[in-house]
């Protein structure tokens, strides 16, 4: 907009030069017009970037005096354009009341005319011209402001989208980490314990060692299948089966690994959302894995209870117990799963009294 006003000012001055030289007008109008043009082009650019009300008011006062004087010496289209440019600049740097005052003052440039009828006629025409310029400039100013606001809004949306993408990436990374720990980590733990058991009886009972190694081989194949399912789950939603059957398989697996485990299901069974089923299954899996790794337990109980508004899975053992801790990654992952579903995870353990891990989620 500033460039357009600068071009209009330069054109007005050129018109003034032609009017003065061609029609023999007063030469004094030229330096005044030149001063107005220089201030309008260079001075306004400097003033508009300072955004100081006093400086803007001083600039308008000087330009208004130059325009009035030049118009008095050479009333023409050129000096009328000076008023139009000045009003547009007022809209850009002055408050609306000050701009309105300038618009009302400019028509008095025709006051010195001999006939009041002519002065009124020309004054109304000049008033209409500068009022139109003020309105157009205000509309353009608002349009530019809307463009800036829209650009800022788009930038904020891009920032929010990038933030949401980073958050989604972090959540997905945590989910994959939990799946690896709860799935592959569990299977490898069982395989490791089977291999240790086989090595312990290898020299004294080769047949039993072979049987244990066969189970370890089967578990390793199951672990490989779990890895493949996890990779497949990254591309497509996971399919899930009935939770009691899955927990029954976990109980059999724990019993085969040396910790007799009994599954007890109570309440009215019903289908569960995939996320709830997965969380409860992982809680049971993590609890039984910890029993085999740390509890030195003689037996374990796996409980599944269907309540009215929630479903709870619980793992109990009669092991050595100890101080309950949430520092492990497995328990941290379970707490995250429970929190995401609006449920809770509770771990209770005491020396010599075994340990109880329970998770309850809505469902």
Work out the average pLDDT over 351-360.
89
List pLDDT tens digits, range 225-236.
666 656 655 554
pLDDT of residue 260: 92
Residue 118 pLDDT greater than 90, yes or no: no
User: What is the four-CA torsion angle of 147, 148, 150, 155, rounded to 10 degrees?
Assistant: 140
Q: Give the orientation angle of helix 206-233 with respect to helix 116-179, to 10 degrees.
A: 170
CA atoms within 13 A on the CB side of 300: 36
Which of 42-46, 96-100, 145-149 shows the lowest per-residue confidence on average (mean pLDDT)? 42-46
Residue 302 pLDDT greater than 80, yes or no: yes
CA atoms within 13 A on the CB side of 309: 3
- Given pLDDT bands bounded at 50, 70 and 90, which one contains residue 263? very high
pLDDT of residue 245: 92
Q: What is the second-level CATH architecture of the domain 243-363?
A: 2-Layer Sandwich (3.30)
Residue 324 pLDDT greater than 70, yes or no: no
* C-beta separation of 250 from 302 below 8 A: yes
List pLDDT tens digits, range 5-44.
888 888 888 888 888 887 777 898 899 989 999 988 888 8
Work out the average pLDDT over 312-319.
92
Residues 74, 76, 79, 80: is their CA dihedral positive or negative?
Answer: positive
Residue 169 pLDDT greater than 60, yes or no: yes
The β-bridge relationship of strands 261-267 and 300-306 is parallel
Give the whole-angstrom CA distance, residue 355 versus residue 293: 13
Residue 306 pLDDT greater than 90, yes or no: yes
pLDDT of residue 277: 92
* C-beta separation of 190 from 249 below 8 A: no
Domain boundaries, the chain: 2-112, 243-363
Residue 186 pLDDT greater than 60, yes or no: yes
Give the whole-angstrom CA distance, residue 167 versus residue 18: 68
Note the pTM of the prediction, 2 decimals.
0.46
Which of 61-70, 174-183, 315-324 shows the lowest per-residue confidence on average (mean pLDDT)? 174-183
């Amino acid at each position: 907009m500033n460039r357009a006003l600068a071009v209009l000012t330069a054109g007005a001055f050129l018109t003034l030069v032609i009017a003065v030289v061609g029609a023999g007008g007063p030469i004094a109008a030229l330096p005044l017009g030149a001063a107005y043009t220089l201030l309008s082009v260079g001075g306004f650019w400097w003033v508009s970037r300072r955004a100081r009300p006093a400086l803007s008011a001083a600039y308008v006062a000087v330009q208004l005096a130059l325009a009035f004087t030049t118009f008095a010496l050479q009333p023409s289209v050129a000096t009328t354009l000076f008023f139009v440019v000045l009003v547009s600049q007022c809209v850009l740097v002055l408050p609306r009341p000050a701009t309105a005052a300038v618009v009302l003052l400019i028509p008095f440039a025709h006051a010195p005319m001999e006939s009041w009828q002519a002065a009124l006629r020309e004054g109304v025409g000049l008033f209409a011209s500068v009022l139109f310029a003020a309105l157009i400039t205000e509309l353009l100013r608002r349009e530019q402001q809307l463009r800036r606001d829209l650009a800022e809004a788009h930038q904020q949306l891009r920032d929010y989208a990038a933030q949401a993408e980073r958050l989604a990436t972090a959540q997905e990374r945590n989910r994959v980490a939990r799946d690896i720990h709860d799935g592959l980590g569990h299977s490898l733990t069982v395989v490791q314990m089977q291999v240790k058991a086989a090595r312990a009886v290898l020299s004294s009972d080769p047949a039993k060692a072979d049987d244990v190694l066969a189970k370890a081989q089967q578990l390793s194949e199951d672990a490989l299948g779990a890895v493949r399912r996890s990779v497949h789950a990254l591309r497509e939603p996971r399919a899930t089966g009935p939770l009691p059957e899955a927990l029954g398989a976990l109980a059999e697996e724990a019993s085969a690994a040396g910790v007799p485990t009994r599954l007890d299901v109570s309440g009215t069974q019903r289908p569960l959302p995939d996320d709830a089923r997965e969380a409860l299954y992982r809680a049971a899996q993590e609890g039984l894995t910890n029993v085999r790794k740390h509890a030195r337990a003689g037996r374990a109980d796996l409980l599944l209870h269907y309540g009215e508004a929630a479903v709870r899975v619980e793992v109990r053992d009669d092991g050595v117990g100890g101080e309950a801790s949430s520092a492990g990654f497995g328990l941290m992952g379970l707490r995250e799963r429970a929190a995401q579903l609006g449920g809770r995870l509770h771990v209770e353990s005491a020396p010599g009294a075994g340990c109880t891990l329970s998770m309850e989620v809505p469902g």
